[in-house]
Structure 1
C-alpha cells in the first residue's frame, strides 16, 4: 500500500523546551518544522517551560511560564502544555499524552534524548504511531545516565527508550557510533545533521574594523558543559601578547556558573577585554559573527552546535573541542583547529597562532563559508521527509 499523492503525512514534533528561549535544539526544531511544512502537515508540541532562568520566574506559581498556549509562528502551529514538575518525571503532562494518543497524527518526532521518563511514558501511550527521535543532547544524556548514582536503574530505561523507537536520526558520526555501541540496529539509524538558517544573514554585511584589536567570539549558554573557564584562562594569557576584544553571547541556564565566570573574568583582569551579551537578539548576534576574527567553542560536551555552522557561514575560522559532531565539520588545520577538552594552554596557543596569521584566518574562513552552504535546512528537511515517507510505507505494509 502506498501513500496517496494528496494525502499529507501528519507529524507531531515534540520538544520539551521551545522558543522564545534560544537553544540549539529549540532553534533546530523550529527551522526544520518551518521547512517541512511545505512537504507535510507539521504541528509542534512543547511545555510552557524553558531552560532560560530569566523566563521561568512565573513558573513556581502556576506551572507555566506564561507563553501563549497556542500560536502559529511562520506557518508552524505551536501547542504549549502546563507541566507537573514531579521529582522523577520532570516536565510531565497528562493532557499532552491524551491529546497525542487520540490524535490522527501519523508520526511523533521527538526532538532530543532528554527528559527520559516523561518521554518513555509518551512513547508507551502512542505505541500505535511511528516514533522517531533526533539525537539533540544525546551525548549529554548518555553521560548523565552513566554518572548517575541511580545508573543501574536509569541505564536499562534509557536503552529501552531507544530500542522501542521506530527510527533514530543521528546528528553526527559520534552519535551513530554511540548508538551502535548501545546495540541499536544500524538499519534503524539515519545520519541527518543540523542545518543553518541563512535568512538571518541576508542584507547584513561584514563590518569595517574601527580599531586594530582582534575580535574573538564565543556563542554558548552559561552552563558548566560549555566550559567558559578554559576560554577565560586562554584570554588571560593572550592579553600579554596582543590587543583583543572578546564577546561571550548566551542565555543563563545556571546562575551559579554564570557568577563563577564573572568572578574569573574579574580575577584575571579581563573586565576591559570581555563583553557579555545575554540578549541573543538575532541581528545583533549576526552582526557580531560578521565583525569578529575568530570563533571559539571550548565545550566539554556537544551534539551538533548550530553556532559553529553560523560562524562558518560568516567566514570565521573555528577553534573547538573534540566532542560531538565537531570533528565531522571542523578539519584540523584545514578550516580550524580541533583541540582536546579542558586544555586551556592549547586553546591559548591556537588562538595566538590564528590571530597572528591573517592569511591563515582568511583561507580557513573561505573554506568554512563554502562548506556551510551544504548545510541548509531545506536540504535537511527533504532528507527528513524522505525518511518519513519510507517509514510510513513500511508501517502501512505491516
Structure 2
C-alpha cells in the first residue's frame, strides 16, 4: 500500500519526527507499505531512512512557512499521487500538513487520516485564522487520531465520532532501566513559552542539586542570558541532542520534570518512566493521563513555583523514593508500545480504504 505522508521529519528533531519514524518502522514490519513523505526543505541528504521510505523536499519561504509549504506541497503531492498510485494520505499536525492533505484528498478522492499531536489542537485551533484552517483539515479527513484523551475532548462535537485516541509508544530498546542515578534533575523539550521553563528555573535556582536542560528553540538564547544574568550556577544548558544522547541522559538522571503550561501528552514522561525514572509534571492537558500522583511521580499546579519546588526537594532528598516511584513508572510504561500503535494504524488504513470503495 502506498501512503503519502505530509509531515515534518528528519533532519528536523522533535516529537512528531520521532513518532513518524517509529510508526513507519513498525508498519513496514506488518505489511509492505511504501511511504512518501512531504517534508520541509533542508540542506544535504539524509544518511539513514526507515524501510520503504522516500522523503520529498518541499521548499518554503521563512516567515510564511505554512502557506508556502502548502502551495509547493500541493504541486509536488499531485505528481506523487499520480506517479506512485497513492492509496492513502496520512497527515501529521493540522496545519499546514493536515490542510495540505485535505486539499489533495478532496482533489483525488483519496482517504485522508489526520493525526493531531498537541499544539495544533491547543493553540492553532484557538487562533482566528488558524481555527478556519484547523476545521478545514478536520472536515476533510476520514479519521482523526489524537495522542491523548484530553486532545480528543477538545475537538468540536461534530468530529467526535470519527476521532479516536492512540497513545504514542516507547522505544524500549533505548529507554530502559540502567540502574544508574547520577544525581541530576532533567528537562527535555523545546525552548518555547508553553514548556514553562521559567517556572522550572525559579523552582530550582536555590536548590543544592544539579539540573540539565536539553533542547533548543526560540527562547534558548533568552533563557541562557537570564541564567547568566541571575548568576544561577546549578543549571546546565546542553542544547539540542540526538535521540540516542537524550536516551542516555534520561537513563542516568535522578528524575525528569515537565513544567508545561499546555501539553498534548508529554512523551518525555513516558520515556523517563520506561527508563525507571520518577517524573514531575504540571497538572495540565494530557499529562495527568500519564502521571498518577504519588504513584509514579508527582503533579503540580501550572506555574506554581513553590509547589514545584516542594516536589523537587522531596525527590532530591530521598533517593529511595526516587527508585520506588521509578519502578512503578517502569511497569506503567509497558502498556505503551509502538507495535500496538502500528497494528491499530494498519487496521485504520484498511478500514478507510474499504469505506471509500463502498
Q: Same fold (TM over 0.5)?
A: yes
1:95, distance to aligned residue in structure 2 (A): 3.2
2:2 is aligned with 1:10 = yes
Which residue number in structure 1 is paired with residue 43 of structure 2? 66
For 1:96 and 1:324, how far apart are their aligned partners in 2?
Answer: 36
Partner of 1:259: 221
1:105 matched to which residue of 2? 86
Q: Is the 8 A contact 1:89 1:117 kept in 2?
A: no
**1: CA distance between counterparts of 2:106 and 2:44?**
28
Hey, what does 1:59 align to over in structure 2? Answer: none
Would you say the 8 A contact 1:36–1:42 is kept in 2? no
1:1-398, aligned counterparts within 5 Å?
9-15=1-7, 17-40=8-31, 41-47=33-39, 49=40, 64-68=41-45, 73-85=49-61, 87=64, 89-92=67-70, 93=72, 94-102=74-82, 103-115=84-96, 118-126=100-108, 128-137=109-118, 139-146=119-126, 148=127, 151=128, 153-179=129-155, 182-201=156-175, 205-207=178-180, 209=182, 214-237=183-206, 239=207, 243-250=208-215, 252-254=216-218, 257-271=219-233, 273-396=234-357, 398=358
The 8 Å contact of residues 140 and 301 in structure 1, kept in 2 or not, is answered as no
SS in 2 for 1:184: helix
Secondary structure of residue in 2 paired with 1:312? helix
Q: Partner of 1:91: helix, strand, or coil?
A: helix
Distance 1:198 1:362, change over 3 A: same
Deviation at 1:80, TM superposition (A): 2.2
Distance 1:319 1:201, change over 3 A: closer
3-state DSSP class of the match of 1:187? coil
Q: CA RMSD in A?
A: 2.3
Q: Deviations over 1:148-178 (max 9, x none)?
A: 4xx1x44234223212210001111111111
1:323, CA displacement in angstroms?
Answer: 2.8
Residue 218 of structure 1 deviates from its aligned partner by: 0.5
Between the aligned partners of 2:335 and 2:130, the Cα distance in structure 1 is 38
Contact 2:175–2:272 (8 Å) recurs in 1: no
Structure 1: gaps spanning 5 or more residues: 1-8, 50-63
TM-score by length of 1: 0.81
Cα deviation for residue 275 of structure 1 reads: 1.7
Q: Which runs of no fewer than 5 residues in structure 2 stay unpaired? A: none
Give the secondary-structure state (helix, strand or coil) at the position aligned to 1:270: coil
Evaluate the alpha carbon distance shift between residue 187 and residue 286 of structure 1 in structure 2; reply closer, same or farther with a 3 A threshold. same
The answer as to whether partners of 1:163 and 1:184 remain within 8 angstroms in 2 is no
